[in-house]
Amino acid sequence: MPSDTLEPEIIAWVAKQGAGDVTRAARHVARREAWLVDVSRPDGSRAEWFLSVDRAKPARPNPFSLARETRVLGALGANGIRVPRIHGWSEAHQVALQERVRGSADLPPAPPAERRAVLLDFVEEIARMHALTPAQLALDLAIPQTPAEAALGEVNTLEGMLAGHREPEPIARFGVAWLRKHVPEKLDRVALVQGDTGPGNFLYEGARMTALVDFEWAHFGDPMEDLGNFCVREFFAPCGGVAEALAHYGKLTGAPVPLGRVRYFRVQQMTRSVLGLVRVTSPHDPRGPVAMNLAYRVICERALCEAIADALGIALEPAALPDAPALDQHALPALVAKQLSDEIAPALPSAYLKHRAESAAALVECIERERRYGAAIAACEREELSELLGIRVERARAGRIELEERIRAGSAPEAATLRYLACHAQRAEALYAPVVAPFAGRKFSPLA
């Protein structure tokens, strides 16, 4: 079935929930499958809903399921937190009908005064959520008892999901090792954290936040985790105000925000992101947003290295980028990319299909760049790995396998390994420039 067509049985279920006819089912552009659905009723009224779909394969169970997220949203809504109301859940289809909340998720274009007001309102809502006790929420989620459990619970779960993964992932493994080595000493209190909170994961209208959205990663943990998440989300949706927002949270809660723990959880969020993206890109799901997932993976790996460097006070040098043959504009990949972006995408009937065609064009460009730059980048990798490992590396993949083993054993030198991994990530960002263009050159905002 085409990726922009919803199954008839799900359409029928939605119609039954709305006591009418489904007059619209439009695929929403997002990393997780979602649809905008409208139901027209015999009395002339209309329901406008947001339909989320979970297609996790039984062979790859997902502890961060849509069913779990739906329970979290229900509990938060019952406690007065601004989240989308749940209108229906289908166990058979693994779909959830949510209120389609008014507002935009795109904060950076808003006027500065409006951005500031929205961010402060968002911080106040997060503080209210953090003030709820586990008993008030009554969710069947693990409650950490120690700083290590709060810091590493979700990380351990995600790392476990990579069991049997065949490719070396030294950046992900380094992030996990760093988190285990630098666990915070304190856990002041436990709260429900959104787990991926900040710009892009809340809606706003005017100067007011209308709803927190996307609780896929929600769990009980250290509230400072959400502040680290906020810094990461602002990295992807630059809107400023990070330092003021953190200070405002401190005033609301009556205690200064421990910036060292915020830096730790910024690393934790980036590590979780990289682990999750390794899973969804190995292999890619053709129905999913392949280009978007690739872009996030590449940028998250570079940002993870930079977050660790900032936490350690280590300066990173820009990577040396190899020269490559000039692009032949008449080569087949270049022609296919141009036809997809210039001719096919504009003629498609929906925003979702246009996005798919434009993404496909960017992926074709990446294939051509792999052909042009691949050998030169592999040579850089072999040279740097040989220096780091103190052995002659004949193949870059073999060198990365050896590095990963040393990271696991705790014998890889922290600063030197980080500098190599950062260079590796920078080269990947340059290689996949067509898909990472929306995030190219992003940096973390100052915390104070």
Task: Number of helices (H) and strands (E) in the chain: give both, helices first.
Answer: 16, 9
Q: Which CATH architecture has domain 8-99?
A: 2-Layer Sandwich (3.30)
What pLDDT does 58 receive?
Answer: 55
The residues spanned by each domain of the chain are: 8-99, 108-283, 289-438
Q: Which residues contact 175 (CB under 8 A, 6 or more apart)?
A: 267, 270, 271, 274, 275, 304, 308
Q: What's the CATH fold of domain 108-283?
A: Aminoglycoside 3'-phosphotransferase; Chain: A, domain 2 (3.90.1200)
What's the start-to-end Cα distance of the chain, in Å?
50
What pLDDT does 322 receive?
Answer: 79
* DSSP conformational letter for 61: -
Residue 168, preceding peptide bond in cis (omega within 30° of 0):
no
Tens digits of pLDDT across the chain (448 residues): 667 789 999 999 999 999 999 999 999 988 789 999 999 999 999 999 999 999 876 545 678 899 999 999 999 999 999 999 999 999 999 999 999 999 999 999 999 999 999 999 999 999 999 999 999 999 999 999 999 999 999 999 999 988 888 899 999 999 999 999 999 999 999 999 999 999 999 999 999 999 999 999 999 999 999 999 999 999 999 999 999 999 999 999 999 999 999 999 999 999 999 999 999 898 888 888 999 999 999 999 999 999 999 999 999 999 988 776 677 777 888 899 999 999 999 999 999 999 999 999 999 999 999 988 999 999 999 999 999 999 999 999 999 999 999 999 999 999 999 999 999 999 999 999 999 999 988 999 999 9
pTM exceeds 0.85? yes
Q: Which residues contact 40 (CB under 8 A, 6 or more apart)?
A: 20, 21, 23, 46
What pLDDT does 264 receive?
Answer: 98
What pLDDT does 328 receive?
Answer: 73
CB 163 within 8 A of CB 280: no
What pLDDT does 29 receive?
Answer: 85
